[in-house]
Each structure stands twice: as C-alpha cells, then as structure tokens.
Amino acid sequence: MNFQIFMLKYFWKPVSLVASLFCPSGNGRRAVRERFLYSKPFPYPNVLSIPDTVKLLQNGASLARLGDGEFNLALGKKKICYQDNSPELQRRMRQILKNPNGKCLVGIPPRPTTAGFFREYFTRYPSILTMMRLRETYANANISRHSDFLVSGIPEYRKIWADRTVVFIYSSAGRFEITPEIFSSIKKHYHIEVGSKNAFEEYDAVMAQAKSYPKDCLFLIACGPAATVFAYDLAALGYQAIDIGHLPNCYANEVSGAPIPEKLPITR
C-alpha cells in the first residue's frame, strides 16, 4: 500500500476521530476532522481535461466511467439507488478501475484539490485509491456532468456522433432523453431497452443484442454502473462505446434550470 494512503487510513483518520471527541457540538467535531484530514495529501492518478477526453472520443476512443456509485460497488456496498451489487459486479468495477487500456479509456473524477464531495469521499474511503493505477493517466469522468464545457462544448460533443449510426442503450422509463440539441447530428439511431434499475442483471441479453449490430455503429450507453461494464466489454469486441451517463439531464439543468439528475425520479 502506498505510504500516504497507509497514513491516511491508519493514522490520520483515527487521530482526527479521537481529536474530534473533545468538541461538544457536531459541527465542531466535523470541523476538526476536516482540518486534520482535508489537509493531508493522498496520491491520485493524472486525469485528462474534459476537452482532451472529448477529443479522444472524436478520434474513436471508447469510454467507461466510474464515480462514487461505481466506487461504492467496488468497495462492496450492498447496493446503490439503482443497482444491487453482486460479487461479479464488484469484481468488474475493480477490474475496470485497475485496467485502463488502449481499447477503452477509463474515466474517473479529476483530482479533488479543495473541500467538497470527492475530497471528503476519498478521505473517508482511501481503500478506493488502492484500486487505481496511480501512475496511469485516466480520462475525465465528468464529461457528462456540470462544467463550463458542457454547454459551450456541445458542438464538440456532436462531432463524436455526427453522421454516425448510433445504438442507444438506456431505459425509456428512466431519466435519459435523446435531446435534439445534442444528438440531431446522428444519421440514424437504434435503441436497446434496459430496466431503469439493475441493468447489470440483463448483461447477457443486452450484449447478445449489441453484438448483432455492425462494428461501425457507435454505442451511447446510460444505465448506471452497467454502462461502465457494457462500454468496456463492447470496446473489447471492437466497437466504439461511450458510457454517456447524465449528459442530457445535466445539459438541461445548465441551459433551462431543469432539476439535476439526482433530483429526478429513477423511473418515470
């Protein structure tokens, strides 16, 4: 185990917990823990910028993304809101996180440098850092999340699928929408339906359908952690496959104030 991760996990966390016991209020205890923990360094892989990641996708790369939900499954959490865990799914999350390769980029959040969700997450769960290749360069998982590039860069996103035949994998009863402002450059599209929850349980049926399409099709996938696995495995078969996540929902939030994806019902 990396020394900094070891110190964070086995020294600084216990010290912060003991020190916080001397504070009478919950906010004070939290402030003490943050002062101890958020100032402590931890190793993290290099992560490409969002524009650089999009450029690679324009050039034919595939992308499997992992965020806190996928990390929780890799750590063995029983379930997240739209996917029950299993030994096989946990194994696949760990495998993909550990093995970015030439056929499929693996995207993770950029290194957190200030207090915030992921700074707290990696401090609370340093074991996830041991599952990464710390000397590798990862793609940016935030291509489908809120950023300055999400609106100004839509013409760049559209180049990825311009004049392509696209196969969408998503639940028509879920959050994902084929927003014209984003996807109207597509030549033709098809749809593989999955459930709005537990899409990984449909792995065999989805992959059988996907393999019936020609290799020049582009797969755009939005079905939670299952999308991570589908994109990775389709790339291994020679397809370009992109785990596109909440891109339309985050775009709608940025341009029209629609609810953030997490505030939308999982099933309509």
Q: What is the pLDDT of residues 172-216, one digit of tens each?
A: 998 899 999 999 999 999 999 999 999 999 999 999 999 999 999
* 2-33 residue pLDDT tens: 888 887 888 877 888 787 787 888 888 878 77
DSSP helix, strand, coil percent of the chain (3-state; round to 5)? 50, 15, 35
SS3 267: coil
* 211-255 residue pLDDT tens: 999 999 999 999 999 999 999 999 999 999 999 998 989 888 888
pTM of the model: 0.90
Here the tokens at position 155 are 């013409």
Stated as kind and residue range, the H or E segment containing 242 is strand 240-243
Cα separation, 46 vs 166, whole angstroms: 31
Q: Which ranges constitute the DSSP H helices of the chain?
A: 3-7, 13-20, 26-37, 50-58, 68-75, 87-98, 117-124, 148-152, 154-161, 180-183, 203-210, 225-236, 247-256
pLDDT exceeds cutoff 80 at 55: yes
